[in-house]
Structure formats: C-alpha cells, structure tokens
Structure 1
Amino acid sequence: MTMPSAETIMLFAIPMFFVLMGVELLAARLMRRRVYRLNDAINSIGLGVLSQVVGVFAKLLTVGFYAWVVERVALFDLPTDSVWVWIGALVLYDFCYYWLHRCGHEVGILWAAHVVHHQSERYNLSTALRQTGSGVLLGWLFYLPLAVLGVPVEVFAVIAVIDLLYQYWIHTELVPKLGWFDRVFASPSNHRVHHAVNDRYLDRNYGGIFILWDRWFGTFAEERDDEPVVFGTRAPLRSWNPLWANIEVYWALAKDAWHARRWRDKLRVWIAPPGWRPADVAERFPKPAFDIARPEYDPPVSTTMRAYAFAQFLLLLALGVDFLGVAARLDALHALAYAGVLLWGLIALGALLEGRPWGLVVELPRLALLAAWPMLVARVPGYVGFVDDLSIVLPVLAVASLPMLLLAWRGTRALHAPGAPEASPGPL
C-alpha cells in the first residue's frame, strides 16, 4: 500500500481549504446567515500559517523523537504495506488524540497551547485552520504508544495529517445534525458543542474522528435546539495579534505563579485545570466575571483598511506556501529569517485591523522589505521558489500599496475620533 507523504497531502489540501471556505461563504449568503468576519478569518488563517511554519522547525522533536522510539523500543515490526496497519494506526491515533485533547482542557499548561484553537468568537471553516504554534512542545508525548507498538514513521506522519484534515469539515454552523452519524463520528453538531462556552456544553466532545471515545468516557454532550451555542473562550483574547494569541495564557499562568506565596501553588498553577488560581492571587488580582452575553471583539476600521488588509493577507498566504515549499532546502538561519518575515507581516496586519498606531510603524518598513524581497532571496543558497517569478511584481505591489495604506489609515483614525459613527460590519 503506497501513500503520498504527509507534506504532499497537506500541500494539495491547502487549495481545497479555501475552495470550501468559498462554498461555505456562498451558502451562508444564500441562507442569509453571517458566519464570517474578515478580521476574525484573517486572524484564524494567519494562526494556521504560523502553526505550519513552526511545524517545519519542530519536526526534529515530533517526528524525530518518534522515529528514535520506533527504532529502539518498538515491540513489533509492523509493515507499511498492510491496510490493517493503517486502519489500526488511525483508530489508535484518534484514541491518543482524544486524551491529548481532553488533557488540553484539563491541564493548565496544555490549555495554554490549545486555547488558540478556541479563541475565535465565530465558528466556520477558517476556525479549523486556527491552530497552536506551541502544541508541539508537549503534544508529541501522547502519541508515543504508537511508536512503542511499532507503527512506522511513514504511517504515523500520514495518519496524523488524515486525522487533522478530517476535522476541517466539522467546523461549520451550516451543517445540521446528521442522525446516526452523530452517534459514531465527530460531526459539525458534536464539535459545535466542543467550541461552546455555555455551562451545559463546556469541556465536552473531544473526539477527532470518532465521538465514541466521548460516549465511552463520559465527556459527551448533545447540541440542543433550546440552547444555541456561544463560541469563544471564557477569558476572551480581544486581539488580532497572532503572537499574543499563542502566549497570552502562558503569560497569565506565569504571572499567577510569580504572585503566589506558596511554592506548592506556584507549581500547581501549571497543572491545575484552566481557570484555577491560588486563593491569595485571586484576592489580590481579581479578574472580571465571565459574561456569556459579552459583545464580540470587532474594533472599527475603515472599508479601505479592510480591503488593504485582505490584499496584503493574500500576498502573505502566497509567501507562506512558498516557505513551506522551499524550507527543506534552506539552511536554518535563512529559514528562520523567512519565518520571521511572515510573522512580522501577520503581526502588522493584526495591529492595523485593531486600529493601533504602531501598526503603521511596523507596516511601512515591511513594505520596503517586500519590495526588496526578490533581490534578497536571490542571494540565498538553495532557494528555488516562485518569488523568483515575481521579481518585478513584488516591488510594484509594495510601492502601489503605500498610498492605499496611508488612505486606509486616515479613514481608520477618523473612526476612532471622538463622536465618530460606528463602523459598518464589513463585507463578510
């Protein structure tokens, strides 16, 4: 049995992600439902790009250590050409994923990584791409049983992608309950419950492909027609900064650990369930109570700024795909530099969509770098990517973007002036 590599599957899947998002957007409009917001979608997809970029550098830890265990500890020498090995490995992987996912909601330091996926206050296919950049630090530990059993590295890498890709389609509000399917598999209805902050639904339905794990281990909850799902987290992010999205809970845990008077509490902060705080810390540094009726985070920006951010984000996506295609041929320093440019762009766009003045400060030099990018990558040993084909286009786009940016910024600042009318919700 021959399967394409995990990298090949993911590169082919990326275009389909956006095709299906387009289908969902069209369906939502026909149904007169507004399930997307541009700023939220850019933030979610951008976090997905960042997760994939981090994954390039994390392979040594995730796949590398897995391969080491298979080579030295495996109990069985399992073949890669057996369909039963693939099926069994996929079922076992999903079982391990259930426990990783469940612990991600029950252990503070694991929630700090997983929280990224739950921060969106919308629920659509872009939310599926909203993935953590730090989950690789500890998540790989949960899959070592597969290595001990001897599941080959090639099989493990592909089934990991299959399990992840399956979960893409269940992130939508538009697919109703599916009868018997909901009783066996993770489905849109089941997974909507998982993303809810309602008391009835909180911390339920962890299965990736199979919902049977939740039914067997007592973590299942059914979506009810009399209680609509409210999405997000109980401590809302309220930011479009992808870097802050990845570190906000780590920072909160670190502050609580620092302020705790007892050493036992300093350690417990990291392993206690999310939301637990030492009594002395909670008393001295209280946090606002959870409000399920809170308004969505949607800072006002001009229509021109939304158009500018959308155009620049499309270009960043293209560069992100280019990075994934060339990263294996770059040395570590140049790969890190390319990743840094992508992160720079995502942070700048996030700040502009929040209407923050420093967004303009970091975006202007980024446009200058974009203009010089073809010349810079041409000097990189081993680089063979599509930026070579855009040696004229990128500088032209960067120069043309400058007046649009200044016009967009002027309109956004006007919206933040005292007495300014509230901005319209935007095209999505």
Structure 2
Amino acid sequence: MFSVIKHPLVTGLRRMFILVSPNETSFEKLEDVPNYVDEAVPYFIALIIMEWSVLYLRGGNLPRLNDSLSSLSHGLLSLLHSLLFRSTELAAFMWAYTHFNIITLPWNNPITWFTCLLAVDFAYYWVHRFGHEVNFMWAGHQTHHNSEDFNLSTALRQSFAHRYSNWVFYVPLALFLPPSIFLVHNQFNLIYQFWVHTETIGKLGPLEWILSTPSHHRVHHGRNPYCIDKNYGGVFIIWDRLFGTFEGEKDEEKVVYGLVHNINSWEPVYAQLHHFIYVIKTAWNIDGLSNKLSVIFKGPGWSPGKPRLGCVEDIPQVEPSPVKYDSNISVWKAIYIWTHFLILLLFWQPGLSMHKQILSTSYLSMNIAYIVFTLFVFGCMYDKRSYSDELEMIRSVIFVVAWQLGATMPVSGTICGLYLASAVCWVAVVALNKTAVKNKEK
C-alpha cells in the first residue's frame, strides 16, 4: 500500500522506516540490490538539521559541536574501513549459502520478504546482546555508547571492529534465505535504527509494544543502573519482551547517557581502540588461563568471584544532571576544524568512494591514512592537547607536499589554496608559540 507514492524523495523517506512493499524491494540477483545505506545519507543529514531546528524552536540545548564532530568522525572512520574491506557479514553469508544452503525460499514471494525482516532483526537482537555481554565484542560496540549526549548524530557513532564478530549470528540465515533479500533487510535494519536516537520524540503509544522506539533506545543508551543491558531490539522490541531484557523509560528518573566510566576525550582513534587495549592488558596481567579467557568472553563488569555479567550493585549511581566532559576552544579554531572536516565529509571521502574501483590499493590506503590522521588531529585540538598545533601544522604541510606530488584526490583550486594558507598560518603559529615560550623562560 505504501508503494503508491512514487516520488523519489518520499520513497527514500519511506525506506527509513521500512514503509516499503516487498514488490519494490525484492531482487533476484545480489548485484541488483541498491546501496540503500548510501542513498539514505542525505536523509540522515536532513533529519539531523530538522532535529536541531526543533530543539532551537523549543528553546532546548542544541547538540554540542565537539560531540557532534566526534560522532561524525566515528561514522567517517566506519565508511573509510568499508572502502578497503568487503562486508564481513555479506561475505560470510555468501560462503555459508554456497556450502550449506538447505532450502532457498523464493526471492519474489512476500512471505520470504517478511520472514527475512523478522529473521534479520532476531539475529540482530543477539548480535547486539552479545555486543554488551561479551567483553571483546563490547570493546567494539562501546564506541557507539561513549557519547554523553543523545541525538541523531549519535546514531552515526559506529565501530569499525564490531562487524568482525557480527557475521557469526547472521550465518544461520543462509540455510534458507536468498542472499539478495538478506542484503536488503540487513541494510533496512541499520537504516531504521537512525531515527530512534533522539530525545525530541516522546512515547508512541501502542507502537511501544511492538517496535523499537526512541523511548526504548534512550533507556538502552543510559548508564543508570536500571538501563544497563536492556532493549537490544533493532526494529522490533518483541525480542526483549520475550527474553527478559526489556525496560521501559521511567518518567521519574532522567536517563543519563554515556559509559559507566566515560573516556573524557574527543579523539576518535582512541575512542575506537581504548577498550581493546584494556581487555588485552587485563587478560595479560591476570593469573590463570580460566581468568584470562573470562576477561575476554565474559561481561565487561566481570572480575574473579563475580557472576558472568558482574554485579548490578557495582554500577555507580548517577546524578540527575551530571557534569559532562567538555572543552571550550576558540571560535576561530572551531570554524577552522569544521571547515576542514566538511571538506573531508563532502568532497574527499565521497571522491574515494566513487572512484575506488579504479584507484590502486596503495593510493587508496594513503588517502585513507591521511583522513584518519586528520580525524585524530581534530580530536586532539578539541581535547586541547599541548601538541595539537604542531600536529595540525604537520597535517597541513603533508597535504601541500602530497598535492604537489599528485598523491591526493583531485580537489578544486579553492580547496588547495585553503590548505596552502593553512600550512603557512600554522607554521607561523607554531613558530610564534615557540618564541613566546623561550621569551617566558628567559
């Protein structure tokens, strides 16, 4: 019934909420399946702008620029990773389908489409639940939870590593589902979850019994004791109700977001990797093979003598309005960071994605490494680290040199001029800072 509205803009919006018919989103061949995630990006941006507008009109607090940049940086890291490596989930599914498929449901049957919708979300429930209950999987998934804010940009805060364990839970579906329909719903499952990351939408009445909603997902992102390890469903909340992991939002207790122990940094590379480092160090230092394996495979809250998932009483109580990690940088530096970040987001990364089939692996890798370094530097600048000016000087000079050598993506003369001016300015800033330090020492 939804397919009667054929306008492309409306069709794209309907996909965000899976308000599409099986006929318009069923494909026989894998290569015919559209890249729905890439096509949804303009809608992500439009909805983020709409959320900002609603918050402004309501007189509420707007999303913080440092937190928003951090979320977008994580999303960009995830996109960059996919430029070099195939989808692990799809690759594993295809391998299992080739070797172990028992019966393939007809790709053009609506029953197959709805079966896949439920099956993919059921598998996602367990992906998500194990991502919280198994420490090495939490090391990847914690990236999505390390924001102390909760808005639509938080949905883009993704881990590059979590996908390397997700595939295990989707492989059984290859026993009976056609790959093309699996790919459709694997994308829809991800796209749907974007809109539930917001505080601007309240409870949705009867829909709360069936669907995963913003209210349910606010609880999931909370670090209040009652919120921990709850509401894992992607599209449907029915799995949480069936398996005892459901918790409703409490009107009398405001949800406080973030990790139990926040990392207090805007630097995205550290945010992606810090818990992996913690798990490795803890497993290395603890005595006994059983304890070492428990550190890896039991919950993040486990320690010797405690239950698999740790003890609820160990979770610290939170203040209703806790002080969030923040750092105030000058207006001109914030404008500078966002200008250069938008160049990466709107021109550089899309250029790499568009031309990746004709670019050499070494060329692609060098450009990706430079973008990752850029995100690291911008995080350091927002963290106000003492060496951030020197890092930005190095980053700007590297671009100018690489541009002269033809090692960067082709960009406009305006962008090249901006980088050249940036390099000159930062060389001057660093030189003046060093002179000021020497004069102060004298």
State whether TM-score is above 0.5: yes
Query: By how many angstroms is 1:329 displaced?
Result: 3.0
Cα 1:39–1:102 shift into 2, 3 Å: same
**Corresponding letter in the other structure for 1:307:** I
Retained in 2: the 8 A contact 1:66–1:147? yes
Cα 1:303–1:263 shift into 2, 3 Å: same
Query: By how many angstroms is 1:72 displaced?
Result: 1.3
Aligned ranges 1:207-218 → 2 under 5 Å: 207-218=233-244
Alpha-carbon distance in 2 for matches of 1:103, 1:371: 45
CA deviations on 1:18-72 (whole Å, 9 max, x unpaired) are 1111110011011111140001000011101111221233326332222111111
The partner residue of 1:80 within 103, 107, 124 is: 107
Alpha-carbon distance in 1 for matches of 2:430, 2:203: 44
User: So what's the TM-score if we normalise by structure 2?
Assistant: 0.83
**Corresponding letter in the other structure for 1:401:** S
Alpha-carbon distance in 1 for matches of 2:128, 2:87: 22
Cα 1:131–1:8 shift into 2, 3 Å: same
Alpha-carbon distance in 2 for matches of 1:408, 1:155: 55
1:395: which partner in 2? 416
2:309: which partner in 1? none
Alpha-carbon distance in 2 for matches of 1:270, 1:231: 25
Retained in 2: the 8 A contact 1:35–1:122? no
Q: How many equivalent pairs are there?
A: 397
CA deviations on 1:387-422 (whole Å, 9 max, x unpaired) are 53x341221111233477689999x99xxxxxxxxx
Give secondary structure in 1 for the equivalent of 2:299. Answer: coil
**Does residue 37 of structure 1 match 2:64?**
yes
Alpha-carbon distance in 1 for matches of 2:57, 2:33: 36
Retained in 2: the 8 A contact 1:370–1:394? no
Query: By how many angstroms is 1:10 displaced?
Result: 2.2
Aligned ranges 1:135-146 → 2 under 5 Å: 135-146=162-173
Alpha-carbon distance in 2 for matches of 1:342, 1:61: 23
1:154: which partner in 2? 180
Aligned ranges 1:335-354 → 2 under 5 Å: 335-354=364-383
Aligned ranges 1:115-130 → 2 under 5 Å: 115-130=142-157
Most deviating of 153-162 and 75-84: 75-84
Retained in 1: the 8 A contact 2:77–2:160? yes
Query: By how many angstroms is 1:212 displaced?
Result: 0.7
CA deviations on 1:89-109 (whole Å, 9 max, x unpaired) are 121000000011011111111
Retained in 1: the 8 A contact 2:143–2:159? yes
Cα 1:395–1:91 shift into 2, 3 Å: same
**Corresponding letter in the other structure for 2:248:** E
Query: By how many angstroms is 1:253 displaced?
Result: 1.0
User: So what's the TM-score if we normalise by structure 1?
Assistant: 0.86
Aligned ranges 1:196-215 → 2 under 5 Å: 196-215=222-241
Aligned ranges 1:322-337 → 2 under 5 Å: 322-337=351-366
Query: By how many angstroms is 1:192 displaced?
Result: 0.3
1:168: which partner in 2? 194
**Corresponding letter in the other structure for 2:40:** A
Alpha-carbon distance in 2 for matches of 1:133, 1:373: 27
Retained in 1: the 8 A contact 2:201–2:214? yes
Alpha-carbon distance in 2 for matches of 1:364, 1:279: 51
**Corresponding letter in the other structure for 2:291:** D
**Does residue 12 of structure 1 match 2:39?**
yes
CA deviations on 1:225-277 (whole Å, 9 max, x unpaired) are 10110000101121112111111111111111111122211111001111223
**Corresponding letter in the other structure for 2:389:** L
| Fraction of identical pairs, as percent | 32
Query: By how many angstroms is 1:279 displaced?
Result: 6.7
**Does residue 93 of structure 1 match 2:110?**
no
Give secondary structure in 1 for the equivalent of 2:106. Answer: coil
Retained in 2: the 8 A contact 1:186–1:211? yes
Query: By how many angstroms is 1:185 displaced?
Result: 0.2
Aligned residues: CA RMSD = 2.7
Alpha-carbon distance in 1 for matches of 2:304, 2:363: 44
Retained in 2: the 8 A contact 1:89–1:159? yes
Alpha-carbon distance in 1 for matches of 2:38, 2:403: 23
Structure 1 segments of 4+ aligned residues over 4 angstroms from their partners: 1-7, 372-377, 402-410
Give secondary structure in 2 for the equivalent of 1:219. Answer: coil
Contiguous gaps of at least 5 residues in structure 2: 1-22, 307-313, 435-442
1:310: which partner in 2? 338
Contiguous gaps of at least 5 residues in structure 1: 281-287, 381-386, 414-428
Alpha-carbon distance in 1 for matches of 2:425, 2:58: 34
Query: By how many angstroms is 1:11 displaced?
Result: 2.2
Retained in 2: the 8 A contact 1:170–1:188? yes
Most deviating of 10-19 and 166-175: 10-19
The partner residue of 1:242 within 251, 264, 268 is: 268
Query: By how many angstroms is 1:322 displaced?
Result: 2.1
Cα 1:363–1:32 shift into 2, 3 Å: same
Query: By how many angstroms is 1:6 displaced?
Result: 6.0
1:358: which partner in 2? 387
**Corresponding letter in the other structure for 2:113:** W
Alpha-carbon distance in 2 for matches of 1:60, 1:237: 29
Retained in 1: the 8 A contact 2:102–2:175? yes
Query: By how many angstroms is 1:78 displaced?
Result: 3.1
Alpha-carbon distance in 2 for matches of 1:16, 1:274: 35
Alpha-carbon distance in 2 for matches of 1:407, 1:110: 45
Retained in 2: the 8 A contact 1:104–1:114? yes
Cα 1:409–1:98 shift into 2, 3 Å: farther
Give secondary structure in 2 for the equivalent of 1:324. Answer: helix
2:440: which partner in 1? none
Query: By how many angstroms is 1:163 displaced?
Result: 0.6
Cα 1:348–1:110 shift into 2, 3 Å: same
Query: By how many angstroms is 1:77 displaced?
Result: 2.6
